[in-house]
Structures are given as structure tokens and as C-alpha cells.
């Protein structure tokens, strides 16, 4: 039974305010800290910020007050293991689908802390608790590891947001981590050899000067090779274009300055198809804008089988948008970010719905994170198959990678093989 709920303001990995909550149930406490995106989708659940002068408007005192004054009385006295009922009650109490009244950051803070409290109360790790609750087969997720960053995560860099390595040849989680580390180090060597400083962006990826998008792919392929791996077999590439952020909705064009071009939807699809053709790419995220459904359907038809088309800003961890993507054949995979959904229950539902529809779920962190590692347990417990949590640098990233190492050490779970035959 939940005996106390409290929230307070803390700072995330960008140094910006976010909400941390603690839920007490008898002699155990569950804590959860909400992450925050920079390249947020328009259809995400609403993150509540105070506005005004304090922290340039980014403060979350109102969301904290929503937890302490609105949600605490609502959930106190209930059973912490009734996650879905608790989440439904909070969504009801908010009264809006986007959770804009109380703030999705208020609701998720409690939702996540409730799950942690339930896990502690039932004396099992969160991944086991989730697997038991949802009757899922657990596995360690194959990570896609950020190596080169651009877009809104590395201001002044290339338009495309993430270039990632996917250690497709690994047989264990440990091997996957080592291969990704080798490739990241080799890319770093290349950047230093060219006279650039290997400074890292919001998710720990490098942001060297790049004239064209192709130069990032080239660096990654060279890194894979010089680390001693075969591109496309041992290690492949994933890309998050995050195209909504250089899309001009009025002109309906993609402004990709590094290519010296303004592209319409067909031109943007052509460009992405060229990259996929030229490089060992296995996953393409947000290659088109968040409401360009026709563009997505068109690209889905022409991508080679086996190349994952992953919706982040398009699908925003929302079951209705996922259903629409399934009906239209607009995507083959869905990014799962609990704070886009606003409750843990909604995020779990999207994973389960994706599996029913034959779409691959990819559990994901945000660009603004903390050392909270809950999503590592979420990915394992639901057997999601893939995880995207940034680069192998910055402690808010390593907290998740290291949590997966801990689970790997404690359990002999298989590494998922989402790109296998
Ligand atoms: P965000 O970036 O957290 O800034 O939205 C992550 C992503 O786009 O995948
Ligand atoms: Zn994305």
C-alpha cells in the first residue's frame, strides 16, 4: 500500500530542470526521474514547464506541485502493484489525452516511481517484475550506439541527428558493447587524426565538422573497418534523421543545407534511399517529418527488405498512431519513450501492440537524461529486442549500459537478434 508520494526538482544531463518522484509503500521506496527531449515530436504528451524568468522558463515547480498536491492524494492508500489502475486513475484525473493539465512529467514521475516501489515491495528486480506482470519472455536488447551527433543535439553540426553503430554480429550483450566501443574509439581516432577535437554532444556522440551527411557515414564505415569488423556483417549502421526539425511545413520542403538543397518529399525519400544503398544501413529513423504520412508510406515501399523503418516523432509512443502506421504500412518499427506516452502503462501497451502488429519495438532514452536506469529494465523485462540510449560516454548513458551488464551478469538471458534471419 502506498503511504507517501513526493516530488522535487532536480537537474538533468543538460543541466535543465526535471521532475524526480519518490513513492513509499510501507518500508520500501521507489524513485524515478523523468527525462526530457530536445527534438521533441509535436504529438508527444505535454511536458509542463513553468515559463517566466526562473531557469529561462524551464523550471518544473508547477509539475512538482501537481505531484504533491493533486496526484499524491489520488494514489496514496492504493496498492503499488496496481500499475495500470493507478495510471488510468492519474490519466482520468488529468482529463486530457495529452496530459497537458497536470503535465506528463508529473504523471510519469509518479508512474515510474510506482513501478519501482512495486518491484521493491515484491522483492524482485524491475525487469522480473515487468516480465511476471506481462507474462513476457525476457532478453537483453541489442543496442544501437550513438557515434556521431548532429541536429538539435549538436548545435552547428550536420542536420541529421544520430549516426549509430549496431553490433549485428555480437552473440552476447558483452560482445555487443565491446564491438560498439571499438568502433566508437576508431571513429574518435579518425576525428583526432584529422585535427579536430573529439568533443561530445548531448548524447555523448562526436560532432566533428562535416561538410556533407555522407561524410558522417564514411567516418562510421571507416571506423567499423579499422576496428577490424566487416561492415554489414559484424557491425551495421543506424541513422536517426529527425527530419521534422529541418522540415518547412508551410513550403512542405526539407531544408538540408549541407546538401545545398531544398527537397520535396520525393527528393528527401530519394536522398535517404541513396544513403541506404551506399552504406550498410539496417535502420532508418524519422527520415520524413512527423505528419508526412504519404512520404513515409512511399519510402516504406522502396526500402529494401530487412531495413527497419523506425518511427519516433511520427509515432510518439502512441498506440493510435501505431495502429495508423500499421494500417498504412508506414513504418516497421516504433521507438518507445515513456515520457512521450506519459505513463508506464501506455509505454508497455505500445510495446505489446507493436509485437502483435509485427512492428519492432526499440526502447529509447531522451537526449536529456539522468542516471535513472529504469528503461534498461523495461527493455529486458518486455523482451523488446532493441535499445537506443546514446553513446558510450556520459554517466547518464553508461548508467543504462551498465545496468544491462548487471542484469547480464545475474541472469543468463539471450541477446536479442532483431536483424537475424
Ligand atoms: P530527443 O532525441 O530526446 O531530443 O527527442 C532522441 C531521438 O530523437 O531519438
Ligand atoms: Zn529520434
Q: Which atom of ligand 1 is nearest to the CA of 364?
A: 9
Euclidean distance between CA atoms 231 and 209, whole angstroms: 23
- Identify the three-state secondary structure at position 239: strand
The DSSP bridge pattern shows strands 261-263 and 281-285 to be unpaired
Q: Which ligand lies nearest to the CA atom of residue 16 in the structure?
A: 1
Cα(257) to centroid of ligand 2, in Å? 20
- Of the residues 24, 44, 159, 203, only one is catalytic, namely 203
* Ligand 1 and 364: CB distance under 6 A: yes
Let me know if 178 is a catalytic residue.
no
Is 225 annotated in some ligand binding site? no
Give the pLDDT of residue 421.
65
Q: Which atom of ligand 1 is nearest to the CA of 366?
A: 3
* Ligand 1 and 39: CB distance under 6 A: yes
Task: Return the residue whose CA atom lies nearest to atom 6 of ligand 1.
Answer: 366
* Ligand 1 and 37: CB distance under 6 A: yes
Is 240 annotated in some ligand binding site? yes
Euclidean distance between CA atoms 221 and 240, whole angstroms: 16
**Residues 169, 235: contact at Cβ < 8 Å?**
yes
Cα(239) to centroid of ligand 2, in Å? 9
* Ligand 1 and 366: CB distance under 6 A: yes
Give the pLDDT of residue 148.
98
Q: Which atom of ligand 1 is nearest to the CA of 335?
A: 9
* Ligand 1 and 242: CB distance under 6 A: yes
**Residues 376, 387: contact at Cβ < 8 Å?**
yes
**Helix, strand, coil percent values for the chain (each to nearest 5):** 45, 20, 40
* Ligand 1 and 190: CB distance under 6 A: no
Beta strands in 199-256 (DSSP E): 236-240, 247-248, 253-256
Let me know if 337 is a catalytic residue.
yes
Task: Return the residue whose CA atom lies nearest to atom 1 of ligand 1.
Answer: 37
Euclidean distance between CA atoms 337 and 316, whole angstroms: 8
In order along its 421 residues, the chain shows pLDDT tens digits of 999 999 999 999 999 999 999 999 999 999 999 999 999 999 999 999 999 999 999 999 999 999 999 999 999 999 999 999 999 999 999 999 999 999 999 999 999 999 999 999 999 999 999 999 999 999 999 999 999 999 999 988 999 999 999 999 999 999 999 999 999 999 999 999 999 999 999 999 999 999 999 999 999 999 999 999 999 999 999 999 999 999 999 999 999 988 888 999 999 999 999 999 999 999 999 999 999 999 999 999 999 999 999 999 999 999 999 999 999 999 999 999 999 999 999 999 999 999 999 999 999 999 999 999 999 999 999 999 999 999 999 999 999 999 999 999 999 899 999 999 6
Amino acid at each position: 500500500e502506498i503511504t507517501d508520494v513526493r516530488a522535487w526538482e532536480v537537474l538533468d544531463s543538460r543541466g535543465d530542470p526535471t521532475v524526480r518522484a519518490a513513492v513509499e509503500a510501507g518500508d520500501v521506496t521507489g524513485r524515478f526521474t523523468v527525462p526530457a527531449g530536445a527534438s521533441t515530436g509535436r504529438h508527444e504528451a505535454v511536458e509542463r514547464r513553468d515559463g517566466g524568468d526562473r531557469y529561462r522558463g524551464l523550471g518544473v515547480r508547477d509539475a512538482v506541485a501537481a505531484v504533491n498536491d493533486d496526484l499524491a492524494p489520488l494514489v496514496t492508500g492504493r496498492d503499488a502493484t496496481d500499475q495500470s489502475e493507478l495510471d488510468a486513475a492519474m490519466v482520468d484525473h488529468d482529463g486530457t489525452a495529452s496530459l497537458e493539465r497536470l503535465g506528463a512529467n508529473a504523471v510519469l514521475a509518479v508512474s515510474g516511481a510506482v513501478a519501482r516501489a512495486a518491484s521493491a515491495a515484491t522483492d524482485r528486480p524491475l525487469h522480473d517484475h515487468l516480465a511476471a506482470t506481462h507474462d513476457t519472455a525476457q532478453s537483453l536488447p541489442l543496442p544501437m550506439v550513438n557515434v556521431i551527433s548532429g541536429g538539435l543535439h549538436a548545435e552547428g553540426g550536420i542536420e541529421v541527428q544520430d549516426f549509430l553503430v549496431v553490433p549485428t554480429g555480437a552473440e552476447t550483450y558483452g560482445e555487443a558493447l565491446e564491438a560498439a566501443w571499438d568502433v566508437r574509439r576508431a571513429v574518435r581516432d579518425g576525428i583526432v587524426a584529422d585535427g579536430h577535437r573529439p568533443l561530445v554532444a548531448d548524447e555523448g556522440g562526436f560532432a566533428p565538422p562535416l561538410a556533407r551527411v555522407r561524410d558522417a557515414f564514411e567516418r562510421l564505415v571507416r571506423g567499423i573497418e579499422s576496428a577490424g569488423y566487416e561492415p554489414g556483417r559484424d557491425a551495421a549502421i543506424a541513422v536517426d534523421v529527425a527530419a521534422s526539425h529541418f522540415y518547412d511545413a508551410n513550403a512542405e520542403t526539407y531544408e538540408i543545407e549541407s546538401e545545398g538543397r531544398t527537397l520535396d518529399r520525393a527528393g528527401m525519400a530519394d536522398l535517404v534511399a541513396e544513403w541506404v544503398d551506399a552504406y550498410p544501413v539496417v535502420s532508418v529513423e524519422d527520415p520524413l517529418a512527423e505528419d508526412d504520412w504519404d512520404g513515409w508510406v512511399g519510402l516504406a515501399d522502396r526500402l529494401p527488405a530487412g531495413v527497419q523503418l523506425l518511427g519516433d516523432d511520427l509515432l510518439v509512443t502512441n498506440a493510435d498512431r501505431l495502429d495508423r502506421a500499421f494500417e498504412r504500412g508506414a513504418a516497421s518499427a516504433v521507438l518507445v519513450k515513456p515520457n512521450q506516452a506519459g505513463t508506464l502503462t501506455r509505454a508497455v501497451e505500445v510495446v505489446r501492440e507493436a509485437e502483435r502488429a509485427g512492428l519492432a519495438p526499440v526502447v529509447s532514452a531522451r537526449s536529456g537524461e539522468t542516471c535513472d536506469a529504469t528503461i534498461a529494465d523495461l527493455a529486458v523485462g518486455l523482451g523488446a529486442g532493441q535499445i537506443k540510449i546514446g553513446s558510450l560516454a556520459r554517466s547518464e548513458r553508461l548508467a543504462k549500459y551498465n545496468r544491462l551488464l548487471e542484469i547480464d551478469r545475474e541472469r543468463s538471458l539471450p541477446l536479442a537478434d532483431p536483424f537475424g534471419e
